Chain A
Amino acid sequence: MTQIAADALGLPMGDFRIVMGDTDRTADAGKTSASRQTFVSGKAVELAGLDLRRKLFALAGAPKNEYLDRRYALALEGAALVFRKDGITHRVPLAALPADANGDVLLGEGTFDPPTLPLDEDGQGVPYASYAFAAQIAEVEVDLELGTTRVLAIVAAHDVGRAINPIQVEGQIQGGTVQGLGLALMEEYLPGRTENLHDYLIPSIGDVPQMDCILVEDAEPLGPYGAKGVGEPGLIPTAPAILGAIENATGVRMQRVPVLPHRLRRALLDK
Chain B
Amino acid sequence: MNKPRAEFAATPPHAEPPAGFELNGRPVQAVSPRIARLADVLRDELGLTGTKIGCNAGDCGACTVLLDGRQVCACLTPLGQAEGRSVTTVEGLARSGKLNALQTAFHKHGAAQCGICTPGMLMAAADLLARRKRPTAAEVRDALGGVLCRCTGYQKIVEAVLDVAARPRLDAAPAVGAAVGARTTKVDGAAKLDGTERYGADEIPADALWLRAIRSPHHHARFRLGDLAAFVARTPGLLRVLSARDVPSNGFGIYPTIKDQPVLADGEARFRGEAVLALVGTREAVEAFDAFQTEGLPIEYTPLPAILGLDAAMAPDAARVLPDKPGNLLQDGGMRKGDAAAAFAQCAAVAEGHFETGFVEHAYIEPEAGWAVRRGEGGEARLEVHVTTQTPYMDRDELAIVMKLRPDQVRIVPTACGGGFGGKLDMSVHPLIGLAAWLTGRPVACIYTRSESMASTTKRHPSRVHAKFGCDAQGRLIACEVDADFDTGAYASWGPTVATRVPIHASGPYKVPHVRTRGRGFYTHCHPAGAFRGFGVPQGAIAHEAMMDELADKLGIDRLEFRLRNALRAGDATATGQVLEHSAGLGECLEALRPRWEQAKRDTAAFNRGARADGKPLRRGVGIGCMWYGIGNTSLSIPPPCASACRHAAGSRCTTAPPTSARVPIPS
Contacts and interface: CB of A to CB of B under 8 A. Distances in A.
Interface in A156-180: 157-159, 161-168, 170-171, 174-180
Interface in B568-602: 568, 574-578, 580, 582-586, 588-590, 592-593, 596-597, 600
A77 B360 CA distance: 53
A28 B334 CA distance: 31
Nearest to A245: B623
Contacts of A247: 549, 621, 623
Given A97-B668, A127-B578, A245-B621, A114 B632 contact: yes
A243 B624 contact: no
Interface string B518-542: 0000000011000101110110011
Contacts of B663: 26-27, 48, 107-109
Contacts, number: 582
A65 interface: no
A218 B585 contact: yes
A231 B663 CA distance: 24
Interface residues of A, number: 177
Interface in A187-205: 187-192, 194-198, 200, 202, 204-205
Interface string A135-165: 1111111111110000011010111011111
Most buried by A among B144, B422, B586, B604: B586
B568 A133 contact: yes
Contact of A189 (B358, B537, B626): B358
A52 to B, nearest CB: 5
A128 B586 contact: no
B412 interface: yes
Contact of A129 (B219, B396, B526, B632): B632
A236 B538 contact: yes
Given A112-B660, A131-B629, A196-B59, A205 B145 contact: yes
B393 A30 contact: yes
A20 to B, nearest CB: 7
Interface string B152-184: 111111100000000000000111111111111
Given A123-B576, A137-B623, A236-B534, A23 B411 contact: yes
Most buried by A among B148, B149, B625: B625
A126 B549 CA distance: 29
A134 B421 CA distance: 19
B576 A241 contact: no
A143 to B, nearest CB: 6
Given A27-B661, A123-B576, A127-B635, A182 B596 contact: no
Interface in B647-668: 653, 656-668
Contact of B622 (A39, A162, A167, A245): A245
Interface string B634-648: 111001100000100
Contact of A140 (B396, B504, B583, B621): B621
A183 B360 CA distance: 7
A11 B182 CA distance: 15
Interface stretch (B20-28, B310-318, B448-456, B469-477): B448-456
Contacts of B421: 179
A60 interface: no
Contact of B358 (A130, A188, A224): A188
B620 A141 contact: yes
B372 interface: no
B109 interface: yes
Nearest to B526: A191
A197 B148 contact: yes
A82 interface: no
Contacts of B357: 183, 256-257
B83 interface: no
Given A107-B665, A140-B620, A23 B660 contact: no
A268 to B, nearest CB: 10
B584 to A, nearest CB: 6
Contacts of B425: 31, 33
Contacts of A103: 667-668
Nearest to B600: A139
A196 B176 CA distance: 48
Interface stretch (B261-269, B293-301, B348-356): B348-356
A24 interface: yes
Contacts of A41: 660, 662
B459 interface: yes
Most buried by B among A170, A232, A235: A232
B660 A29 contact: yes
B80 interface: no
B545 interface: yes
Given A122-B335, A124-B336, A245-B622, 15 more contacts: A5-B662, A30-B660, A33-B425, A104-B667, A106-B666, A113-B659, A119-B640, A135-B590, A138-B624, A144-B618, A177-B153, A179-B421, A189-B360, A191-B359, A200-B454
19 contacts: A12-B173, A17-B667, A28-B653, A41-B662, A123-B336, A134-B586, A138-B623, A139-B604, A141-B618, A157-B588, A159-B585, A183-B357, A188-B358, A196-B450, A205-B157, A236-B625, A239-B538, A248-B622, A249-B608
